[in-house]
């Protein structure tokens, strides 16, 4: 199953810099692990925002929910998930 996921990150300004940097480092490692194993197909930064659009390919809604909850930045995110289906006009 394919999903388009929009993640909008809002780290509190009063979070100590060292703690924020540690969370971001864990986030990067986790997201790259999911990219390597093929479940996080692609990620694009939104220009001018601390946000991204990503494509996930997972076996179920529950698997996606579990992966998203595992993101170290999850507590600081607003997430919108859009399920995707093949388009009849697509040539690929």
At residue 77's C-alpha, the angle toward residues 16 and 48, to 5°, is 85
Residue 14's domain is classified under what CATH number? 3.30.70.1060
Banded pLDDT at 11 (limits 50, 70, 90): very high
What's the total number of domains in the chain? Answer: 1
Domain interval for residue 29: 2-84
Residue 19 within any structural domain of the chain = yes
Residue 91 within any structural domain of the chain = no
Cα separation, 26 vs 2, whole angstroms: 25
Residue 28 within any structural domain of the chain = yes
Residue 50 within any structural domain of the chain = yes
pLDDT of residue 92: 76
Residue 37 within any structural domain of the chain = yes
Cα separation, 16 vs 59, whole angstroms: 37
Digit-coded pLDDT (tens) for 13-43? 999 999 999 999 999 999 999 999 999 999 9
Residue 90 within any structural domain of the chain = no
Residue 68 within any structural domain of the chain = yes
């Amino acid at each position: 199953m394919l999903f388009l996921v929009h993640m909008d990150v809002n780290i509190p300004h009063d979070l100590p810099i060292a703690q924020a940097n540690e969370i971001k480092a864990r986030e990067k490692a986790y997201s790259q692990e999911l990219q390597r194993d093929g479940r996080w197909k692609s990620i694009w930064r939104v220009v001018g925002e601390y946000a991204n659009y990503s494509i996930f390919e997972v076996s179920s809604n529950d698997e996606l929910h579990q992966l998203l909850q595992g993101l170290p930045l999850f507590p600081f995110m607003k997430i919108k998930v859009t399920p995707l289906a093949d388009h009849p006009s697509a040539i690929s």
